[in-house]
């Protein structure tokens, strides 16, 4: 298996229009030899039409329609990738080829132990936007050692990326904003009519971080190590298990 320097990872759910937009752009990337691109159809029903996707792109489909399964899609991509670096990007974000090449040419300047965020700008207004937690570059080695994304957040909207970054910082990892590549934000292609109530996942994030704060204290760590204590606190809904979650809790296939 030929290894690459960087794996771009894009997962799309029920949005054929944005897939076609991306596929047209991917045609331009075919001669970038150090690039691997992984596309995940995240359980779309009916399955997305992939005929426009170039043959060199790796294509996978999560067979089960799990709401908001971004953590699972990212974990799946990390398992099948060969890139030294993982570049997670939103479906409605576009990349310019020349900036992508510049990133690859300077990839040796990126450091392990750091998550890299990307600048964004609105494709319509041309205004700068804040960077987003779910568009990031991280070494594959770091990602796997960290335990990947927590799939306990799958099924409800939001906070899986906030938890990932907060825990990353809590454990001493760094986060840095790069100057480029700049992501072109096409929010008009965002999948509509989805339940975006994030309350359940916000509570889950708080409970999981509480677990880690208790673990970080000598007395707290000792108490959680006693038989039945952690299970009791979980039943009381005071904490949630923050240990790396079971990954790939679904059926998937290469397409």
172-196 pLDDT tens trace: 999 999 998 999 988 777 777 788 9
Is 145 a domain residue?
yes
- Give how far Cα 66 sits from Cα of 7, 148, 152, 155, 160, Å: 24, 18, 12, 6, 15
> DSSP class of residue 157?
-
Helix ranges restricted to H, the chain: 16-26, 70-80, 97-105, 140-146, 160-170, 199-215, 218-225, 229-235
Find the domain containing 79 and state its range.
6-197+245-254
SS (H, E, C) 58-120: EEEEECCCCCCCHHHHHHHHHHHCCCCEEEECCCCEECCHHHHHHHHHCHHHCCCCEEEECCE
How crowded is residue 197: how many other Cβ atoms within 10 Å of its Cβ?
Answer: 10
Please check whether residue 224 lies inside any domain of the structure.
yes
Asked whether residue 167 is domain-assigned, the answer is: yes
Q: Do 203 and 174 sit in the same domain of this protein?
A: no
Asked if 104 contacts 94 with a C-beta cutoff of 8 angstroms, the reply is no
The answer to whether residue 46 sits within a structural domain is: yes
Count of the separate structural domains present in the chain: 2
Mean pLDDT of the chain: 95
Say if residue 149 is in the same domain as residue 170. Answer: yes
Measured between alpha carbons, how far is residue 154 from residues 62, 69, 206, 224, 249 in Å? 13, 5, 16, 26, 10
d(Cα 150, Cα 49) in Å, to the nearest integer? 29
Residues 191 and 216 in one domain: no
Question: Are both 73 and 179 inside the same structural domain?
Answer: yes
Residue 182 belongs to some domain of the structure:
yes
Do residue 157 and residue 183 come from a single domain? Answer: yes
Residue position matching structure tokens 């060199």: 56
Same domain, 178 and 219: no
For residues 49 and 114, membership in a common domain is answered with yes
- Note whether residue 1 is domain-resident: no
- Are 206 and 189 contained in the same domain? no
Between the two ends of the chain, the Cα-to-Cα distance in Å is: 18
pLDDT value, residue 82? 97
Instruction: Give residue 1's pLDDT.
Output: 62
Asked, for residue 62, whether it belongs to a domain, the answer is yes
Cβ(121)–Cβ(129) below 8 Å: yes
Can you tell me the mean pLDDT for 88-111?
A: 94
Residues 187 and 203 in one domain: no
- 68: left (phi > 0), else alpha (psi -120 to 50), else beta? left
- Are 95 and 27 within one domain? yes
Token reading at 126: 């041309």
Q: Which CATH number characterizes residue 15's domain?
A: 3.90.550.10
Confidence of residue 123 (pLDDT cuts 50, 70, 90): confident
Do 205 and 112 have their domain in common? Answer: no
Average pLDDT score over residue span 95-114: 95
For 131-152, the pLDDT digits (tens) are 988 899 999 999 999 999 999 9
Give the C-alpha separation, 27 to 29, whole Å: 6
Q: Are 128 and 120 in contact (CB under 8 A)?
A: yes
Of 29-33, 69-73, 129-133, which range is least confident?
A: 129-133
Tokens 């290894």 belong to 3
Q: What pLDDT, on the 0 to 100 scale, is given for residue 125?
A: 79
Residues 215 and 177 in one domain: no
Do the Cβ atoms of 252 and 62 come closer than 8 Å?
yes
Instruction: Evaluate whether residue 54 is within a structural domain.
Output: yes
């Amino acid at each position: 298996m030929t290894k690459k320097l960087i794996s771009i990872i894009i997962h799309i759910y029920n949005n054929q229009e944005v897939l076609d937009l991306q596929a047209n752009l991917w045609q331009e990337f075919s001669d970038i030899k150090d690039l691997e691109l992984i596309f995940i159809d995240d359980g779309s029903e009916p399955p997305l039409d992939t005929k426009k996707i170039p043959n060199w792109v790796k294509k996978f489909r999560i067979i089960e329609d799990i709401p908001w399964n971004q953590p699972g899609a990212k974990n799946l991509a990390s398992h099948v990738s060969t890139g030294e670096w993982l570049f997670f990007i939103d479906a409605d974000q576009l990349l310019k080829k020349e900036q992508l090449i510049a990133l690859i040419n300077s990839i040796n300047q990126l450091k392990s132990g750091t998550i890299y965020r990307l600048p964004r700008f609105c494709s319509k207004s041309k205004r700068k936007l804040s960077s987003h937690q779910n568009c990031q570059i991280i070494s594959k080695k770091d990602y796997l050692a960290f335990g990947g994304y927590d799939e306990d957040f799958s099924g409800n909207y939001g906070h899986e990326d906030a938890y990932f970054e907060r825990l990353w910082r809590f454990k001493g990892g760094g986060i840095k904003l790069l100057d480029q590549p700049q992501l072109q934000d096409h929010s008009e292609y965002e999948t509509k009519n989805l339940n975006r109530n994030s309350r359940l996942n916000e509570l889950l994030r708080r409970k999981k971080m509480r677990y880690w704060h208790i673990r970080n204290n000598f007395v707290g760590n000792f108490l959680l190590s006693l038989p039945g204590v952690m299970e009791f606190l979980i039943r009381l809904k005071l904490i949630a298990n923050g240990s790396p979650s079971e990954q790939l809790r679904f059926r998937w296939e290469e397409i």
